[in-house]
Chains A and B, each alone.
Chain A
Amino acid sequence: EVQAAALAERGEDITPAQDRGVLKIIKRPGSEDESPMIGDKVYVHYKGKLANGKKFDSSRDRNEPFVFSLGKGQVIKAWDIGVATMKKGEICYLLCKPEYAYGSAGSAPKIPSNATLFFEASNASELAREDLFEDGGIIRRIKRKGEGYSNPNEGATVEIHLEGFCGGTRFDCKDVKFVVGEGEDHDIPIGIDKALEKMQRGEQCILYLGPRYGFGEAGKPKYGIQANAELVYEVTLKSFEKAKESWEMDTKEKLEQAAIVKEKGTMYFKEGKYLQAVIQYGKIVSWLEMEYGLSEKESKASDSFLLAAFLNLAMCYLKLREYTKAVECCDKALGLDQDNEKGLYRRGEARLLMNEFELAKCDFQKVLEVNPQNKAAKSQISVCQKKTKEHNERDRRIYANMFTKFAERDAK
């Protein structure tokens, strides 16, 4: 087994600055020619020792390879540099100076200050593709990496080149400039908007979109795309300009923008583009929810926007089947206007769909208190009662034996 001394003697210096900060010796070369790329998810088994030979960590103790995204600063510098040089299947030794590891601060409780670290690592990656939102919805393969660390934020203006493929046939090819979150206006699916927030200037990549992030159930007749089709896009982010941060805008600006954004949100909602609508309404919340020092007039306007935003967000989340979020939005709406009919009704709907029948019933009853004419609420109450009964039956069957005895006893 190679020791730290051997590395110090004949290890290869793999640092860009050539300062011997990270030295490497290959124990067993890898199988493929390709090294991992920035952003790729890599799986590594490793064992780490301090200069005195004491082991401080090992992935084998956890029976799981360690997973991280390469080149993103998630790990110590020595690893971002070192793992990038490891081909699939390769096993190597790394000797890392503190400047490329935990420096003078160390890492309590195991790593002392100014510690040189010794690793034996093996690249156990099967996949080289990056799942952007960890749900299989958008997979990215970077063809050419971009520069810098900055990404477009929501609301940024981007200039891109885009080609769209479905089932192997190209259906779209264009250069386009638009605002992130509003790609829909240019027949661009929401997956592209979301992916752009993780891209860098100059990056060219291939995106595999699942239906939820594509054109969804509506499909895109204009391009001949069926419902729930899987799409492949090649996107180049030529340039972008970030949107203003919330804290850089003053209240007047926020209120002006809120009106514009609310209209946009409503437009998307009417077209059934709920993910896009959520983005627009969400802006109102992030601008105004924590805003202080408003005049009375501004305060009224702000509350009115927030109320509308929360109610509409709740509606969107109901359509998207994210019920917990729908309830949260209703709670906030009711915080502003406690007898709001829509807020109560929508919360009732969400709770019903989460099987919280008692709570749902309370909400619907409150709706009737506010507006006795609301027929929908009446019928929802009976639905709640029906479902509660079904659930009680189920519980009763579980303790059948017990209850029979009790029942018999009580009867005497």
Chain B
Amino acid sequence: MAVDELQAIIQRCQILEEADFKGEDFNLFQVAGQKCLETGYAAQLLEVIQNEKNKVIVKNMGWNLISPLVRCIFMYKHEDDKREHCLKILDQLAQLCNPKELFLSLLEQIEQTSGEQVCQTVMLLLQPLQTVLLKLQNKKAYSVGLSLAMIMNQLTPLPVPYTKQQIQEDKFGLCQCCNAVVDFAKPFVNEIVKNTEESSEYNDMELKEELLKFCMKSLKYPLLTAQLEQIEGIEEHPFRHFATEIIVSAIKINHKLIPLVFLHRKSRGPQWENQDFADIERKNSADSLACLSYLMFVQHFGIDCFPVVFSPSYLLQCNMTHIEVLLKRTEESMLSKGLDLFESCLLRMEDDGLLHQYLEFRDFINVPQDLVKIMTLCPIEHLRKKSLNILQLFIDKFDTEGKYTLFRCLLKTSNHAGVEGYIIKNIKDQIHLSLTKACDNTWFTGLHLISLLDLVLLLPEGAETDLLQNSDRIMASLNLLRYLVITDCESDNRTGVWTMLAKIEQNFLKPLHVGLNMSKAHYEAEIKSKKENRREAHSSNTVCSVTVSGEKVPAMTTEMQLQVLHSALFTFDLIESVLARVEELIELKIKGVMDDNS
């Protein structure tokens, strides 16, 4: 019987000296103890452990029981008495065993779980782990660091709940577990605070570093992936709570952390007190710092310790690195944080106030290009829309020279007709402003404008340009030209369009005519041949097929094909009509001038 076996080994060891415990004894104790648990004698095992006389034995051998104990706790139902007993045993072991050995045993147990068991196991073992760590003398900092690293490692593969439903369900228990872990770390953080207050020379760098590593890791996972806005219907949002706790802890550990982290990005790196901090900073911390920035400036967590005297432009400059890190990702959670952070920084500024010199910073050029990528390539619609809005906000904040430079840059680099069309419309708006306001604007009139219009009023590949692909851009350019011709009299010629007329005709209007004629002829021929082929048998020699999600997309019927061809013709007609109108206007104006002059 299991209990008897246990009693036997206990009696044998009671008379031995501690130093005389042999490996054989450890073995027998473990086997007997395990048997007790598995055959339902947890209560008896508890008695044995609680017995004063067995203290020394438990101290040395107790750590062996962790594995079977945890197994049993998960086996029994919540209401079962035996489960209660097991929990009490766990508690006793934490009090009585050798801290070093029990520590390794607990850690081993956590390391061995995976998948759905992870959070349950971690939450079960956090309390005994904390008890044991608080008892360690040497190597405490190292052990705390090891525990946190191990736990976070185990949690990282778990998916982060994102929608309201997922958060409420908390399928794997991650929400609960994260908050339990940060509570677990609190006494150690408080220890640092207490020691720093008592002695200004306090410098347990190791504990500070380990806890800081944990905070940085948490910023990356789960916080970077989590949804951190207030959710209606959820009172205590678990990840918002977690984020607050992490930031509060980080500030307690090193109150210089947050300003330091933001303000030295241009130089080699913040002046960490210890080289290891610098290493933390480099490896993988870009994501954590970006998340921290989002939490502070968008959700306002921890912003109390941030000085309120920085200029909004400088805040934008410092945050651009973080914005770039987030916008280069493809996950919705990260992109939306990047967009929110960008928006929040831009909204702090007055329009027309951002100096053009900021465009000399590499990220000020890279980030709008990232926005263009998002608005044209991202599959998520609300992100595409938001990205476009933010680009406009960004444009609005710059001074005139800045807008000018940004337009040039985006026209040259975006490679997308829709975006180019949007920029051209912006150019038109700026020209309008500079013609109607009294102020002296050299960037959207005169020589500078001519140089910009050179980029706008042309067909990228001459007469061979694909007019359909570029229709957005071409229409925008034609509208701009029409506007200029109507608004700017030849006598004034403030925009320089009349001087450029010959060049515009050669590079833009003439090739456009040729292109339109060619395209229309081509498409009309296609339509004709399709209609003729329709009478013949439907041949299935498709040039290529498209498969989406494993299902082959049906080939287009002739009707559909004809529809597409007709709508192309419609586009050409549209372009042609605006073109005709523009040429008409030009002729009228010129004729008007000639009549005046004659």
Q: Please report A residues at the B interface, Cβ cutoff 8 Å.
A: 46, 48, 56-57, 59, 61-64, 66, 68, 73-77, 79, 102-111, 133-135, 149-151, 153, 245, 247-248, 286, 292-293, 324, 398-399, 401-402, 405, 408-412
Contact = CB atoms under 8 A, between A and B. Distances in A.
Contact of A46 (B271, B305, B309, B357): B309
Contact of A76 (B259, B309, B409): B309
A412 B139 CA distance: 30
Given A104-B350, A111-B308, A247 B413 contact: yes
Contacts of A73: 311, 313-314, 355
**Chain B: interface secondary structure?**
helix
B302 to A, nearest CB: 12
Contacts of B300: 108-109
B23 A56 contact: no
B457 to A, nearest CB: 19
Contact of B282 (A59, A248, A324): A324
A177 B83 CA distance: 84
Contacts of B408: 248
A56 B308 CA distance: 8
B41 interface: no
A292 B268 contact: no
A248 B314 CA distance: 26
Given A103-B350, A402-B104, A133 B267 contact: yes
Contacts of B310: 68, 74-76
Interface in B38-67: none
Contact of A133 (B255, B268, B282): B268
A408 B25 CA distance: 11
18 contacts: A48-B309, A62-B256, A66-B307, A68-B310, A74-B311, A75-B309, A105-B312, A105-B347, A106-B348, A107-B312, A110-B303, A134-B264, A135-B267, A153-B360, A248-B412, A293-B415, A402-B104, A412-B22
B415 A149 contact: no
Contacts of A286: 362
A75 B314 contact: yes
A133 B264 CA distance: 9
Given A57-B308, A102-B312, A409-B27, A108 B355 contact: no
A57 B303 CA distance: 11
B535 interface: no
Nearest to A134: B267
Given A324-B283, A408-B23, 12 more contacts: A48-B309, A63-B255, A64-B255, A66-B307, A66-B309, A102-B348, A105-B350, A107-B308, A107-B312, A149-B355, A286-B362, A408-B22
A74 B357 contact: no
Contacts of A56: 308
B344 interface: yes
Q: Which 4 A-B pairs rank lowest in CB-CB distance, beginning with the nearest?
A: A412-B23, A409-B23, A134-B267, A57-B308
Given A73-B355, A74-B310, A77-B311, A402 B365 contact: no
Nearest to B267: A134
**Interface range on chain B: under 10, 10 to 19, 20 to 34, or 35 or more?**
35 or more
Given A105-B349, A108-B348, A134-B264, A62 B305 contact: yes
A409 B26 contact: yes
B101 interface: yes
A149 B357 contact: yes
A392 B1 CA distance: 44
Contacts of B347: 105
A398 B227 CA distance: 42
B309 A57 contact: yes
A408 B23 CA distance: 6
Contacts of A108: 300, 344, 348
B256 A64 contact: yes
A133 B266 CA distance: 8
B24 interface: yes
Given A73-B355, A135-B267, A412-B23, A59 B307 contact: yes
Interface string B319-360: 000000000000000000000000010011110000101001
A87 to B, nearest CB: 20
Contacts of A409: 23, 26-27
Interface in B408-436: 408-409, 412-413, 415
B52 to A, nearest CB: 24
B100 interface: yes
Nearest to A135: B268
Most buried by A among B104, B303, B307, B349: B307
Contacts of A135: 267-268
A117 to B, nearest CB: 9
A167 B37 CA distance: 81
A73 B307 CA distance: 15
Most buried by A among B23, B268, B311, B313: B311
